[in-house]
Amino acid sequence: MKTFIFLTILLQIFVLQQVRTNECELTSNDNIQLTANEFIQSRQLCNILNLPTTNKRQISITGRLMDYTTRCQKSISNANVEIIRIRLNHRSVCSNIYHSNSDGYFNLTNLIIDFNEEVFLRLTAPSYKTIYKKIHFPLSYDQSVEMILNWKIVLSKDIKQSQSQDDQRMKSIVDTLLSEMTLDEKIGQLNLEGVGFNADGPVITNEQRERIRRGEIGAVLNIFTPQAIRQLQELAINSSRLKVPFIFGFDVIHGHKTIFPIPLALSATWNMTLIEQSARIAAREATADALNWVFSPMVDIAHDPRWGRILEGAGEDPYLGSQVAAAMVRGYQGSNISDVDTVMACFKHFGLYGAAEAGRDYNTVDMSPLRMYEFYLPPYRAAVEAGAGSVMTSFNEINGVPSTANQWLLTDLLRNQWNFTGFVVTDATAMYELIPHGLGNLQEVSARSLNAGVDLDMGSQGFLSTLNQSVQQGKVSEQTIEQACRRVLEAKYKLGLLDDPFHYVNESRAHTDIFTKENRLAARDFARRSFVLLKNDKQILPLARSNLTITLVGPLADDRRNLLGAWSGAGDWTQAVSVLDGINQLIGNNIQVLHVKGANLLEDPDMLKLLNAYGGDIILDNRTATQMIDEALQAAQKSDVIVAVVGETQGMTGEAASRADIGLPVCQQLLLQALFNTNKPVVIVLMNGRPMTLTWEDQHATAILETWFAGTETGNAIAEVLFGYYNPAGKLTATFPRSVGQIPLYYNHKNTGRPFNSSDFLNRYKSRYLDISNDPLYPFGYGLSYTSFSFGPLNADKTQLHGDSDRLTIRFVLSNNGAYDGEEVVQLYIGDPVASVTRAVRELKNFQKVFLQARERQEISFIITTDDLKFFDSSLNYIWEEGLFNIYIGPDSVNTQSVQINWFKL
């Protein structure tokens, strides 16, 4: 009997082990000592034109991501799955990003890898640890056989016992501080003030010095450098009773000292790894200047290019905008926000700021809840889920209540629905501006903002001057003040400041980590990857590298002042590289460059006065417009091609830079008209911070290259693209209208009851314009290449699907038919033509950025699940409904192929 019992127990153990094995049959996570910093700090990022063409191997990796804490029964959806390729001999890195579906599955098929590369898989998901797996290839690997890997991979929660202990320690320290604070000191922690500084250090008024002594400032903005911040932090520590340190915040929007392309341009790369890298480098530079908090990313969806702040965001699409938001937060905050080279992110502007009426900054916003949830809220939520430590309110109202006093927005939605645990800060003086909104005097709006969920007041001093009185009058409770103070103190703890107030002050890093050669190389690579080729007739680009005479003309051809664009923060425009310098440095000895100015940037006296009042530094040429144009024409007659560098000034986009006319300034148009009349090929190089109306320019120019405001390395990046050292691969993330009369214009619009079809031109009673087409000049997702790509027929593995667990796989062959290596952004859209609420005509649901060598073909596949079919119904439930769906795949939002499928609930 004992033997039987023993064997029974042994059998049960064996069976249990087998069951667990079936549940958790996983490959071990490689113990690879690699960090994202090693990828980012590579000395040279990959140039796709220089990749080797031989010794290739083909692999496919399929797998599933599982949650270890539930014995692998819970899948991890929508994780980032990255293939990272390191070429050690070139110290360079390339990566492609994919995503797992709702069941945790990922499918990376037909990847072409070179023998000289080390290949890693990086897997990231919100609230999970990032892991790396090295892909090992046998020495006897047969190139003729595709290597197929099928893995189940554990991602463990990034919540350890030590973290739980750390949370307890944080609570203990913050509780002790709060117990020692007076009410006035608690209110003081809710006050964010700006402090000036110069070469001698911070410039502090006597009034501010006294507030610091009394503990009435919790955080400081607009000051940096280790020397200045040390002086101010020492004042807080040495003169205040409780020695609570400051948080130091700054506008690090697209780089700190090394300035990268504006965010709208970075989004045009459609490369989340690159965007994350840009934020990571910016964080390293900012912390080397002793900062620990950045007012970025801006994740506002914008449909109106008249709005100047469109340059700060990722354009018009909520799916792409969500990917960018999460990537930026990861880049800033890293895996541990207390590391000395990471900063706390502050996503903004919460919420709906990009929908300001008429594109006029600070204006009213009004929309239905359904529109909010479907088109505008997703990027904010993505930033929350990525772990952002703070959020900034917006200036606009929502449903009749301005954001800064909107309890539904800041508490019901942000905290209760989305589980945000960080702190909320107002935009500059936003609390004070509630008065002209009509919400009451400063005491009333301050009380209302605190009760709504604001924790930190930027610039209004409303909390500081009124909350004590409001407590006495019962308008706010001490408990509400203490909760806001706790959130600010917890942020200081997480940043390591309560343990070491000088945690980020290191003068040696300011000399080694800022404006380095590596960072400038990264800036150059980011810039050229952000350029969008809008037109290229007769394949005029790339230009010949010898035996060529070009006329380089335009007010921005030898300009450095405007290259950084708006919100360049601590950037030094004198360090920027002009287009003229970039061309001369790259190829100037082999060609002849005739440089002339040709025109002023603008000549409108009112705009000149306004822009120069705010640091525009625009100086008019002493010559007349006719004299400058004549000089340009004389040079053009001697040249083979004209390169005209035209666009906006840095002050014409950004905050408070809305424009009713988003075309080129008239003086620049007159120059272009004269150049077009020469019958010489004219290549327009655009510098701007928004989509522009370029219908006339598109009709006459031979080529148009959109370069945005590309940052410190602008000239070098433009030269490399013009002369074919890099093949442009950017795609628009915001629609370019034909006319301002079409605005707002965006790809994911809804149909009307009378949709217009251009093939039925004479049918007047449709939703149309009489004088122009409904169509944009350049649609969302659009961008050309020096090579030509073709999409083979779409092949769906089934046309009828059933239930949540079913999956649709669509395959096709992408071919590079041209003579240049290049990248194509393959875009997948879904349309739901019959639903319980009206749906957009199509919505971006996935994309892949694919590199193909000249004449190379590759099978591309997408896996679609019911998560891709979901939408918000009239009750704001996130659901999917059975029925007919159209799947569109192509190089942009218009030029697509489609397949139609039926997906049933059962």
Distance of CA 812 to the CA centre of its chain: 29
d(CA 343, CA 280): 9
What is the number of helices (H) and of strands (E) in the chain?
Answer: 24, 37
In a domain, 319, yes or no: yes
Residues 506 and 538 grouped into a single domain: no
Do residue 231 and residue 348 come from a single domain?
Answer: yes
Helix residue spans in 588-700 (DSSP H): 605-613, 625-637, 666-676, 695-700
How many Å separate Cα 3 from the centre of its chain?
66
Between the CA of residue 775 and those of 38, 220, 742, 769, 778, what are the distances in Å?
A: 45, 47, 9, 10, 9
Q: Within a domain: residue 171?
A: no
Residue 201: give its domain's CATH number: 3.20.20.300
Distance CA 648, CA 633 (A): 22
For residues 199 and 112, state if they share a domain. no
Parallel, antiparallel, or unpaired: how do β-strands 871-872 and 822-831 relate? unpaired
> Does the active-site annotation cover 427?
yes
**Which CATH number goes with the domain that contains 88?**
2.60.40
Alpha-carbon radius of gyration of the chain: 28
Secondary structure of 671-694 in the HEC alphabet? HHHHHHCCCCCEEEEEECCCCCCC
For residue 842, is it within any domain? yes
Residues 390 and 490 in one domain: yes
Quick one: 198 exposed, middle or buried, by C-beta within 10 A (0-12, 13-18, 19+)?
Answer: exposed
Distance in angstroms (rounded) separating the CA atoms of residues 464 and 214: 12
Q: Are 579 and 556 in contact (CB under 8 A)?
A: yes
Task: Give the Cα separation of 320 and 157 in Å (integer).
Answer: 26
- What does the pLDDT read at residue 22? 34
Provide the domain count of the chain. 4
Identify whether the C-beta of residue 111 lies closer than 8 Å to the C-beta of residue 90.
Answer: no
Average pLDDT by stretches of 10, the chain with 906 residues:
43 36 39 40 37 61 68 64 68 66 72 73 73 68 56 58 78 97 98 89 92 97 95 96 98 98 98 96 98 98 98 98 97 94 98 97 96 98 97 97 98 98 98 97 98 98 97 98 98 97 96 96 97 98 97 98 95 97 95 98 95 94 96 98 98 97 98 98 98 98 98 98 98 98 97 90 92 96 98 97 96 97 98 97 97 96 96 97 98 98 96
CA nearest neighbour of 565 among 786, 312, 334: 312
* CB contact at 8 A, 395 and 338: no
Residues 678-700 pLDDT 10s: 999 999 999 999 999 999 999 99
Tokens of 557: 């051809």
Cβ contact 242:185 at 8 Å? yes
3-state helix, strand, coil in the chain (%, to 5): 35, 25, 45
Considering the candidates 317, 427, 455, 559, report the single residue annotated as catalytic. 427
Q: Round to whole Å and give the CA distance between 524 and 638.
A: 31
For 318, phi and psi rounded to 5 degrees? -70, -35
Looking at the fold, whether 486 and 556 belong to one and the same domain comes out as no
Query: Per the domain annotation, does 593 fall within a domain?
Result: yes
What CA–CA distance (Å, rounded) separates 876 from 872?
5
676 and 563 share one domain: yes
Q: 633-677 pLDDT, tens per residue?
A: 999 999 999 999 999 999 999 999 999 999 999 999 999 999 999
What are the CA-CA distances from residue 408 to residues 346, 399, 401 (Å)? 20, 10, 9
- Contacts of 729 by beta carbon, 8 Å cutoff, 6+ apart: 48, 269, 529, 783, 785, 822, 823, 824, 825, 849
Last-in-domain residue among 681, 702, 729 = 729
Q: Is 601 within the bounds of a domain?
A: yes
Q: Is residue 734 part of a domain?
A: no
C-alpha closest to that of 80 among 304, 436, 386:
386
Q: Which amino acid is at 130?
A: T
Co-location of 298 and 393 in the same domain: yes
Whole-number Å distance between alpha carbons of 880 and 840:
14
| Exposed e or buried b per residue across 485-510, where buried means at least 16 C-beta atoms within 10 angstroms of its C-beta | bbbbbbbbbbbbbbeebebbbbeebb
Same domain? For 824 and 891 the reply is: yes
Please tell me whether residues 197 and 246 are part of one structural domain: yes
Give residue 111's domain range. Answer: 56-67+79-135
Here the tokens at position 553 are 């003309």
Among 34, 92, 27, CA closest to 61: 27
- What's the N-to-C CA distance of the chain in angstroms? 51
Which of 479, 510, 541 is at the close of a domain?
Answer: 510
Assess contact for 326 and 339: CB atoms under 8 A.
no
- Phi, then psi, of 496 in degrees rounded to 5: 85, 5
Helix (H) or strand (E) holding 862: strand 857-864
Answer yes or no: do 536 and 505 share one domain: no
Residue 482 lies in a domain: yes
Q: How far apart are CA 274 and CA 689, in angstroms?
A: 20
Q: Of 120, 135, 150, which marks where a domain is finished?
A: 135
- DSSP H stretches of helix in 201-241: 206-213, 226-239
Whether residue 540 is found in the same domain as residue 476: no
> What's the DSSP call for residue 553?
E
In a domain, 44, yes or no: no
What pLDDT is attached to residue 48? 40
Domain harbouring 667, CATH code? 3.40.50.1700
701: phi then psi, degrees, rounded to nearest 5: -75, 150
Q: Could you tell me if 429 and 501 lie in one domain? A: yes
For 80, the 3-state DSSP assignment is strand
